Amino acid sequence: MNNYFVRRILQIIPVLLIISFIVFSLVFIAGDPVALMLPDDASQEDVELLRESLGLNEAFIVQYTTYLMNLVQGDFGESYRYGQDAMEIVLERLPATLELGIAALIIAIVVSIPLGIWSATKQNSSLDLVATGAAVIGKAMPNFWLGIMLILLFSVTLSFFPVSGRGTLLHLVLPSITLATGIAAEMTRLIRSSMIETLNQDYVRTAKSKGLKDRIVVYKHAFRNSLIPVITITALQTSTLVGGTLITETVFSWPGLGQLLIQAVNTRDMAIVQASVFVIATLVILMNLVADILYRLLDPRIKYS
């Protein structure tokens, strides 16, 4: 198993290289950031001098090679907008994004696990229909629309929560619920289907025939063995979580990595974009690696070779 995880860690390097090439290419195609850095009355000579000082007058392959050499040294360049090291700015915003993402994931897990289990154990009942319908609606609602509706209802009309910003626990409630809704809906549907399949297994019927209580059969036997697909979808939801964070942070003016990345794309701040995507890609890859470890802990029969 150790060899497997060493190979997985080594696979991170080419994945990050491919991602860096794609992001660098897209930023390169997007246009010249110099036009946004100088006033409208700047002369052509000023434009050329700034482009030369930033190395933007070089060919694509030369710029990318220079970028990779700096990347190996941990240098993502300096932000055009902030005049600071890009990675330092990204790491300053990362805790806010992690706070929002972890809160949303906790809410999604707390809601989806009992709802999925109850829906599976009471299949085709009124509770099952309500839970399934709620999951479909939750999955269908866009984050930006849900966030605006929550602001209008709970912030503007009822004044229960702040409209935007970060600072107290109350600031976290609405954005985390917005971000958690779609994830909880997806997890509820998966837990339900996984539990229904597990409850029909022979060992579950054997446990019931021995006179064990339904609660023990469901939670100790069936639920644990249905956790592997749940962990899989939770790991896959990391990318969905990141995508939702971009929108949610913008709607609620949450000062995290998502809002920073949107602003950097709009201002063509190449260094910030590349550093942000690098950090996000690393987080997603690490979450998948953690999922592999959890598979082994939950089911010792799983072997990595």
Q: Which pLDDT belongs to residue 162?
A: 92
Q: What is the DSSP letter of 78?
A: B
Q: Which pLDDT belongs to residue 189?
A: 87
Residue 211: alpha-carbon gap to chain centroid: 43
Q: Which pLDDT belongs to residue 82?
A: 83
Strand partners, 78: 85
Tens digit of each residue's pLDDT, the chain (305 residues): 567 667 777 778 888 888 888 888 877 776 666 766 666 667 777 777 777 777 777 778 888 888 888 888 888 888 877 888 889 999 999 899 889 988 998 999 899 888 888 888 888 888 888 888 888 898 888 888 999 999 999 999 998 999 888 888 999 999 999 999 988 898 888 888 888 887 777 777 777 777 777 777 776 667 766 777 777 777 777 766 777 788 899 899 999 888 888 888 887 788 888 888 888 888 888 877 777 777 666 665 555 55
- Measured CA to CA, the distance from residue 168 to residue 189 in angstroms comes to 32
Helices (H) and strands (E) counted in the chain, each on its own, are 14, 0
Q: Which two tokens stand for residue 93?
A: 């915003």
Q: Which pLDDT belongs to residue 244?
A: 75
Q: Which pLDDT belongs to residue 48?
A: 75
Q: Which two tokens stand for residue 266?
A: 């709009």
- Measured CA to CA, the distance from residue 19 to residue 176 in angstroms comes to 28
Q: Which pLDDT belongs to residue 173?
A: 94
Domain locations along the chain? 2-72, 86-298
Q: Which pLDDT belongs to residue 156?
A: 92
- Measured CA to CA, the distance from residue 170 to residue 172 in angstroms comes to 5
Say if CB 104 and CB 172 are below 8 A apart: no
Q: Which pLDDT belongs to residue 4?
A: 67
Q: Which pLDDT belongs to residue 145?
A: 92
- Measured CA to CA, the distance from residue 107 to residue 111 in angstroms comes to 6
- The architecture that CATH gives domain 86-298 is Orthogonal Bundle (1.10)
